[in-house]
A and B are shown apart, each in its own frame.
Chain A
Amino acid sequence: MSLSGNYFAGVDVGSLAAKSVILKDGDIFATGLVPSGVNSVESGLNALNIALESAGLKQEELTYIVGTGYGRVSAPYANKAVTEITCHAKGANYLHPTVRTIIDMGGQDCKAIRIDQDGAVVDFAMNDKCAAGTGRFLEVMAGVFKVELKDLGAIALSATDTVPMSSTCTVFAESETISLVARGEKPENILNGIHHSIANRIAGLFSRVGIESDVFFSGGVAKNSGMKNAIEQALKVTIVKPEIDPQLIGALGAAVIARNFAKKEGLWA
């Protein structure tokens, strides 16, 4: 089968998931999402192949591919590599041109990004090298309560109280959580406290770059409704609702950038 049009792909290989988005001319045409494996080349290709398969395309029919995420450094299938900071900016701007601030919470890091009307990065800050405030942190907490990661936010939202969590270090927070459970605190109240503790840490990141409406929440953790709620309270903002899976925003931005590069290099008019 041969399809008419120009196709551009973005592949975002993160620490926990690999994502892909294919644009047909200017529209989202197909997406792919798989858990990341040890081999980041393979993970990226797996995500890309899922999108290609659902689009009925072959890789050679793609005009341009941009790789992003930590796996961008080993993405032989990509024409260019761009950082996830630039890609999240472009992705959010593609969906909502009025967005000026992005919170990106991924598997191993968290970013505060300020952008302009064109989706260009104006300023950004990232968490330090520890896992506090990341998807990995929440994964560890889900393990402590023996619940699914995807259910964590809903459980936190059912809380009647907020049990303060003083530790931000993943290891210390885990032992503090176990102590709180032993003290008889309700799991939902502890989880609520954990979400607010992370949100307050994120507010610290924004003290370095500032906040301007509209605010967008991207990355795998953005699927967590409890986290969204806690961040809205900590930053005193309303987060705009994404039309697509927020975990795909980096790959979407990479696809938008792929289209721009193709145009610049005369591969697409």
Chain B
Amino acid sequence: MSVKTLDVIRKRLEERPDELRRARENGLKVVGWVGYNVPEEIIHALGFIPVRIAVGGDDRLVEIGARYASSKTCVFIREIVGAFAENKDPYIQQTDILAFDATCLQNYRAAEVIEYFFKKDVVVLAVPRNFHLDEAKEYFAHEANEFTRLLEERAGAPLDSARLAESVALYNDIRKTLKSIYTFQASKNNVISWEEVYDLIQAGELLDKREYLSLLTQTLDELKERQHYPVIASDDGDSRIFLSGSLIPRGDRKLISIIKSVGGRIVGDDLWSGILPHLDLDIKEISPAGVALGYLNRTPHAALPYLDLESDRRLKKLQECLSQFKAQGVIYHTLRYCDPFTFKAKETKNVLAKSGIPLLEIHTEYAGSDYEAMKTRVEAFVEMIKIKSEIAEEQSVLVDA
């Protein structure tokens, strides 16, 4: 199932830290961003190099992070804090400025801790809780302007509208191409797996954006040449799993590898470290506020409150994705102390049960001690889906007969 361009991307990722170092030596600045609603186009248009700071899967760093952040902070944030404390991550080492958003309040706390203990230059974008209200949108537009002003100060130049328009166009092309590639992974006789596309999405958090678009276009061309039209169907004998819940950043592949090892096939996700941030982003106006509002109007992060179950956009998007990718079950990943997603697990399960989609919650952290217990749960869930499919198939044969 090898897609040649993916090898090129892997090689470019290996070279990227050195490339960033050289760029900084030539006077460019790197902005490391953390969050869900950071309008990356603004950072890019100001001439900074944006890289996403997202590390996971290392329990040792979590322990180091716990020396600075409360041990009740989610393991992802504790690991980020730990990575800053240790300062060995090549992207953290190359970061000049940090941009955080306050979508999740634990994210905001990390910004404070990193600024205080590690003397980093941190810019924070405030995010309204009741994001659907007009007053909240007005507030967010104001905060986006302030966020831009703080970055302009650091860039030493004002934001140019034409450059912002170019950045928005570039990012729109990236999102569009990613969405096309994503359809291929879920298809019958797929030549690219979900795992490969997930790595591809996360590669874009680090690589140069123009080069990334070019590599994505090559990947898509390769896929079209080998597969023509992707047909998504649930009758391919696979246990089609959809991954939801807390983010799964670079470095954390525990759950993903378990699902694969027990014969499950991931066909989609709505993780904020996956495809979700690239869906439904509609920038109506080329201005800092216009870009930021485009972000806020996407499917909201779980840290923002529910409206009501009937109109909740996050649940609606999840159901839409389940239908599009013909998923047969949801594995809902919750990280220890990631309250936004953990608190919503049961409601999500109850809503999906009404349409016959089973949900398994996997509550975990970065230690390896729960590996076998997780494997038993995931394996039993995959068995459950397989048995359900077999029964449905037998019944349809009987009806046909």
Contact = CB atoms under 8 A, between A and B. Distances in A.
Interface in B16-31: none
Interface residues of B, number: 17
B377 interface: yes
A188 interface: no
Interface string A85-123: 110000000000000000000000100000000101111
Nearest to A88: B380
Contacts of B370: 129
Nearest to B359: A123
B222 interface: no
B387 A126 contact: no
A85 B380 contact: yes
Contacts of B376: 70, 83-85, 126
Interface string A117-158: 010111110101100000000000000000000000000000
30 contacts: A70-B372, A70-B376, A83-B376, A83-B379, A83-B380, A84-B376, A85-B376, A85-B377, A85-B380, A85-B383, A86-B380, A118-B391, A120-B384, A120-B388, A120-B391, A121-B380, A121-B384, A121-B387, A122-B358, A122-B384, A123-B358, A124-B377, A126-B373, A126-B376, A126-B377, A128-B363, A129-B369, A129-B373, A208-B346, A208-B361
A244 to B, nearest CB: 23
Nearest to A207: B346
Contacts of A70: 372, 376
A121 B387 CA distance: 9
Interface in B367-401: 369-370, 372-373, 376-377, 379-380, 383-384, 387-388, 391
Interface of A: 70, 82-86, 109, 118, 120-124, 126, 128-129, 208
A122 B380 CA distance: 11
Contacts of A120: 384, 387-388, 391
A119 B376 CA distance: 18
B383 A121 contact: yes
Contacts of B391: 118, 120
A57 B379 CA distance: 32
Contacts of B388: 120
Given A70-B372, A126-B377, A83 B358 contact: no
